[in-house]
Structure 1
Amino acid sequence: MDCRDNCGACCISPSISSAIPGMPNGKPAGVRCIQLTDQNRCKLFGKTERPKVCAALMPSEEMCGHSQSEAIAYLNMLEEQTSHKR
């Protein structure tokens, strides 16, 4: 499955603990990645600077749903389930 045009949910919803160029401490959940373009495309796609966790995340029908809002809801649910906050 290819990424949905103008979605970017996977670059907004999840937290990323590893450094990202321009975000040396990673990013909190729900914060738009600094590397996300206005068209919701990753500026680091295919580059070595892209965090491994980002490169490992593959679009799927389950994760992406049928819209950006469905993808954000799914990723928010995963973030909540895997959060280390107590």
Structure 2
Amino acid sequence: MKCREGCGACCIAPSISSPIPGMPDGKPAGERCVQLSVDNLCNIFGRPERPPVCSGFAADVEVCGASSEEAIRLIGWWERMTAA
């Protein structure tokens, strides 16, 4: 599966514990990443300062579903199910 351009769910729904430029402590689940543009595109895509967890994310129907809204719900569910 390819990412849906302008989706942004993976930059909103999950928590990210590693530093992100502009968010040195990472981000909590459900909070929009400061690097996510108004068009829901990553401002640091392909740049070395992009966290490895972000670079390593691969779209999959299991987490992305059929729409951005479904992706928010599914990624949120996975976040809750895997929280320590």
Which TM-score band applies after superposition, normalised by the shorter structure?
over 0.9
Residue 21 of structure 2 is matched in structure 1 by: 21
Aligned residues: 84
TM-score (norm 1): 0.92
- Which runs of 5 or more structure 2 residues have no equivalent in the other structure? none
TM-score (norm 2): 0.94
Corresponding position: 1:57 with 2:65: no
Residue 72 of structure 2 is matched in structure 1 by: 72
Detail structure 1 runs of 4+ shifted over 3 Å in the superposition. Answer: none
The whole-number CA distance in structure 2 between the counterparts of 1:78 and 1:62 is 10
The whole-number CA distance in structure 2 between the counterparts of 1:61 and 1:13 is 16
Deviation at 1:63, TM superposition (A): 1.6
Supply the AA of the counterpart residue of 1:35: Q
Q: Deviations over 1:30-69 (max 9, x none)?
A: 0000000011011111111000111111111222111111
Supply the AA of the counterpart residue of 2:14: P
- Which runs of 5 or more structure 1 residues have no equivalent in the other structure? none
Supply the AA of the counterpart residue of 1:61: V
The whole-number CA distance in structure 2 between the counterparts of 1:26 and 1:75 is 17
